[in-house]
Each structure stands twice: as C-alpha cells, then as structure tokens.
Chains A and B, each alone.
Chain A
Amino acid sequence: MIPTIAEAARQFETRALSPVELTKACLARIEACDGAINAFLLRTEERALADAKAAEQRMMSGARRGKLDGIPIAHKDIYNTAGIRTTAHSRLLADNVPTQDATTVRKLAEAGTVMLGKLATHEFAWGGPSFDLPWPPARNPWNTDHFTGGSSSGTGAALAAGMILGGTGTDTAGSIRNPAGLCGVVGIKPTYGLCSRGGILPLAHTLDHAGPLAWTVEDCALLLQAMAGYDQADPASANRKVPDFSAKLGAGAQGLRVGVVRHFHERDVAVSDATTRGIEETLGLLQGLGATIRDVTLSPLADYNACGYVIMSAEAFAIHQRWMLTVPGQYGALLRDRLALGGLIGGADYVQAQRRRRELAAEMKAAMEEIDILLCACQPGEAARIDAAPKWSGLETEGFTLPFNVSGYPAISMRAGFGTGGLPVSVQLAAKPFDEATLFQIAHALEQASDWHNRRPSMRRA
C-alpha cells in the first residue's frame, strides 16, 4: 500500500523507507494499474529515479529539504515542464516541449519532490472526456466504466489508484474539486492569486487557479505550502506573506461557525440521496466536533453559473481564437464545439458578466461576515458512466463548484461517503480569501472524525 505524504515523510525520517524504494513502488503500481486507468500521458521513470536518488543523498547527508523531499508526485499535463513534453492532452501540442518549468513545478521540485510524469487532463482543461484525442481519457479507479470528473482527471485517478502521493491540478470551474470528489480524494482550489499560474497553459485567465490534490487534507496542506507564493510571471499573483497551512491541523472544529448553502442542493439543482446523506452526516460530524451550524442564502446557483460560464467561454475562445479560425479540425469535437459557442459572446455580454461577478463576490463576502466556513454540495452524485458524461454540462446543468471561481474564494472538496454504485460522493467547504489554514483545519477535523479515507478502490470493472 502506498503511504500518504505525511506517512512517507515520517518513514523517511526513521529510515523505515527510502525515496528510491517509494519511487520504485509507485512506478511498479503505475505499470500494474495504468493500462486500465490511463492516468498518465507520459511517464518519466529516469527522471523520477534520479530525483529519488538525489533526495536520498540529501537525507543521508543531513540536508533534507522538508516533508516533501523524496515524495513522488506527477503534474497535470498543462503544467509546463522544461525538456519534458507538455501536451494539454491535445493534438495541437502533441510535440510541444517547453524550455521552462511552470513556477509551481519549479517550486515543487525545489521542495525535493520526485516527478513521475505527466497526467491526463481534458483537452486544454475543458474538452473531456473525449475519445477522439491522441490519448484516451482517464478512468475512475473505483469503477473503470465511470468518469473521473475533470479536468484534472489524471491526477484524481492516479491518486485514487495509489500511483502517486500527490499531484497538481488546475481549477477554472471545478477542475480540481470535481475529479477529487468523484475519485474520492481531496482537492483544494486556493484563493485566486495564491498560487502562480505562470507557465501553466490557460483556459480562462480570470477564473484559472492552480492547486494540489492528494489522498488526505494534511497532504494537500503540505503540497500547497510549496506551491503558494507571489510570482511576477502571473499578473494576478497576490503579493502576500504565505502563512503556515498546517498550523491549525489538529485544532479541531470547536467554535468554528459553519454556514450551509442548502438551497444549492435542495432547490437549485437536484442531488442524489447519497449526496444529501453525505452532507447531513458531515454536518452531524461538525456539530459533534463543536462547530455551530446555520443556513446561508446566496443567489441561485444559476446566477453564479451564468456569470462564470460566460466569462470562461469568452476568455477561452479569445485564447484559442487563432487555432479555432485556422486549424479547428485539430481539436477534439467536444472542445471545438464548446469553444465555438464562446465565440458568439459579445464584448458587452462579457462586461455584463464581469459586472455581475463583482456583485456576486460582494454577496459572498457579506454572507461570510459572521461565519468562518461555507459548506455545500460538490457534485450531484457519484461519477456518471464515462460514455454518458454530458457534452454541454455547464449549459444544461449548473455546477456547485463555479461560485468559488467566480468569487475567487478558496474551496476544498472531500469525501462524504459512498453512493449506491460504490463510488464516492463528496462535500465542498469554502473559506474567506487567503484563509486556507482554517479550511484545512476544519477539513482535517472532519477527515479524522470519519473513516471514509480509509477505504481504497479495489480497481474493479462493473
């Protein structure tokens, strides 16, 4: 069994495990499992073993860099990696080899992590699951006939399958939280501006966030610690001191004020019984931990969705305009059609959406004045079958994750039980801007109070 990052770090400390042994175990797991999961677009075995040996030498010489030193991870394939192919899971970049690492890739490498390879995504972080691309879509380790959620699909799948200990994702409308929730792992979309997007291929500039996924809340905190920080290469980067995200782990939830946005899942969008049960059980756990619970009302989910979807579509089309006009056939059909609709959004429509966005963000700020944490659904239910994932998902149903891309507030998705099909269901928690430490505090308390994280997929096919 592959350990968590925190467990591996402790085992490195006592020399019960070495980075090379752990890396070899991950590579063996990838070799054994990934034929059915398709999480990796590219494995970098030689690089991984070199990274692991270097980490091991640092440990032997007393120069260990911290808890991430020697930890095997992998990157979503829209993070630029110097000298290593970065494709965005698209034919258009099939031969693209960047000359520089993304800022966050560099920071994670400097923390001593071991790079196992590049992970599947939806095409340019929006088009998936697609079957007309050079690589197949990732599959859900809990049931390989099912979708992983996306777009950080390979990261969610590789974590759930125990192939990596941590990984990177990006989140424009839920692309970290959805695969985390549907694959039964933990994923955090940090505050807008906390993690640099420098060197990450964009989907929509004002909605894109970079962040980590991992098996546990503590592991996410460790990864985010390395990823966060100001970067001149990202014009939206926040020039603030990075706090200790693990500082409040273990502090429980006593006295924390939690607001539940019930209307999101009770009125705005229908959810499964398992999701409702997961939300109620989570609230019960929080009450047991001494948190206070109250209901919070925001604008309907449709308002957040309209605002976010229009901005995302317009910005994405602007980014892809040249290729859409010159080589549209190079895209998979799903992304091409979604992008094309973005081409129909007028300048005034875009500005109206950005005006609405300020109102919605102000509304969320006001709603959080007397609470510490918002809690709401993350997905309607378990992952759909991979051949039944809706093409026009953002248009035909509203997502629960987009409100926090619209506002820029930090949000984490975590397990909340299992559905009738045996796949995970999840909840979403959000905090005030730059208060990730409190988000980790409450999520960690919840994780410790439940046993959902002790269950691993058996890698079955229905």
Chain B
Amino acid sequence: MEAISEADFAALLRHAGLNPAPETIKEMHRVYPRLAAMLLRNRGERERAAEPALTFEVLP
C-alpha cells in the first residue's frame, strides 16, 4: 500500500465526516501506516469465494 500524504489523509477523514484539529491529524497520520499495514495483511491471498466469518441469519 502506497504511503498517503497528510493532505490525502485529511481528505479521508473528511470523507468519513471527521474534522479533527490539525495537530490531531498530524498525529493520526503518523500512526496511520500501521493501520494500513494491517489492512494489507488482512488481504492476504485466498480463494475468490472464501467466506467471511460472519453469517446473515434470516430469522435471528
């Protein structure tokens, strides 16, 4: 996953409806690569049809 600029990161936050203070954006941008690495790790390689752990119950 490519590194994300602080401007793109702030845009992502706005996309989620969030507007933190500039210093908070800076701090979150600093730790974001760790989350991005997790996202990448979860992608892994698997069968296209591999099911998630969740199931939908029609009549819970």
Direct contact of A and B (CB under 8 A): yes
Interface presence of B17 (CB below 8 A): yes
Given contacts A325-B17, A341-B32, A343-B17, contact A359 B46 (CB under 8 A): yes
Interface presence of A287 (CB below 8 A): no
Q: Which of B20, B32, B50 contacts A359 (CB 8 A)?
A: B50
Residue of A nearest to B30 (CB): A392
Residue of A nearest to B39 (CB): A349
Residue of A nearest to B19 (CB): A328
Interface presence of B42 (CB below 8 A): yes
Chain A residues lying within 8 Å of B20, measured Cβ to Cβ, are 328, 336-337, 340
Interface presence of A99 (CB below 8 A): no
| Contact, CB under 8 Å: B53 / A395 | no
| Contact, CB under 8 Å: A354 / B18 | no
| Contact, CB under 8 Å: A353 / B42 | yes
Interface presence of B3 (CB below 8 A): no
| Contact, CB under 8 Å: B34 / A344 | no
Chain B residues lying within 8 Å of A345, measured Cβ to Cβ, are 35, 39
| Contact, CB under 8 Å: B39 / A341 | no
CB contact list, B11-56 vs A, under 8 A: 12-13, 16-18, 20, 24, 27-28, 31-32, 34-35, 37-39, 41-44, 46, 50-54
Number of interface residues of A (CB under 8 A): 37
Q: Number of residue pairs across A and B with beta carbons under 8 Å?
A: 93
Cα of A349 to Cα of B50 in the assembled complex, Å: 14
Nearest CB in chain B: distance from A359 CB, A: 7
Cα of A343 to Cα of B35 in the assembled complex, Å: 12
Cα of A354 to Cα of B44 in the assembled complex, Å: 12
Cα of A418 to Cα of B26 in the assembled complex, Å: 39
Cα of A273 to Cα of B23 in the assembled complex, Å: 38
Cα of A359 to Cα of B50 in the assembled complex, Å: 9
Cα of A99 to Cα of B13 in the assembled complex, Å: 36
Interface presence of A146 (CB below 8 A): no
Nearest CB in chain B: distance from A360 CB, A: 9
| Contact, CB under 8 Å: B51 / A352 | no
CB contact list, A354-407 vs B, under 8 A: 354-359, 361, 392, 395-396
Starting from the known contacts A343-B16, A343-B18, 4 additional A-B residue pairs (CB-CB under 8 Å) come to: A235-B60, A328-B20, A354-B53, A355-B52
24 contacts between A and B (CB under 8 A): A206-B54, A303-B41, A306-B42, A309-B35, A310-B35, A310-B42, A317-B16, A333-B24, A336-B20, A340-B20, A341-B31, A341-B32, A341-B35, A344-B35, A345-B39, A351-B52, A352-B42, A355-B52, A356-B44, A358-B52, A392-B31, A392-B34, A395-B35, A395-B38
The interface of chain A, by Cβ under 8 A from chain B, is 206, 235, 302-303, 305-307, 309-310, 313, 317, 321, 324-325, 328, 333, 336-337, 340-341, 343-345, 349, 351-359, 361, 392, 395-396
